[in-house]
Amino acid sequence: MEESSLDSKEYKKYHCVKCGKTWGEGDDSYSYGLCLECFGDYINVKKVSKGQVPCFGTFNNNSEICNSCKWNKFCKEFYDKCKGE
Ligand SMILES: [Zn+2]
């Protein structure tokens, strides 16, 4: 049986450049990025500096603002994750 699935991509372990948290599984090849929490902080700081409401992480499916927000994909991910824990 052969399976050529796109799901078979290898997951790596990531380190957050800000808080040092790690996520992901697999080889620890010291890939760096911002974890979802630090990313959220970063976006909210940016929003405040533009005079906007720091609403990242409060995703609302029925909100026009949320659905047209350019961060909504990440916001939803953050929201879902925090809600699930
Ligand atoms: Zn972090």
Q: Using alpha carbons only, how large is the chain's radius of gyration in Å? A: 16
Ligand 1 centroid from CA 63, angstroms: 27
What pLDDT was estimated at residue 8? 42
What pLDDT was estimated at residue 17? 96
What pLDDT was estimated at residue 11? 67
Ligand 1 centroid from CA 3, angstroms: 36
- Rounded mean pLDDT, 54-76: 90
| Residues 52-63: b if buried by 16+ CB within 10 A, e if exposed | eeebbbebeeee
Ligand 1 centroid from CA 40, angstroms: 9
Q: Specify the higher pLDDT residue, 33 or 6.
A: 33
Ligand 1 centroid from CA 22, angstroms: 8
> Which residue shows structure tokens 């925090």?
82
- Rounded mean pLDDT, 2-28: 76
**Average pLDDT of every residue of the chain:** 84
Ligand 1 centroid from CA 74, angstroms: 14
Confidence of residue 9 (pLDDT cuts 50, 70, 90): low
Could you say which DSSP state residue 59 is in? -
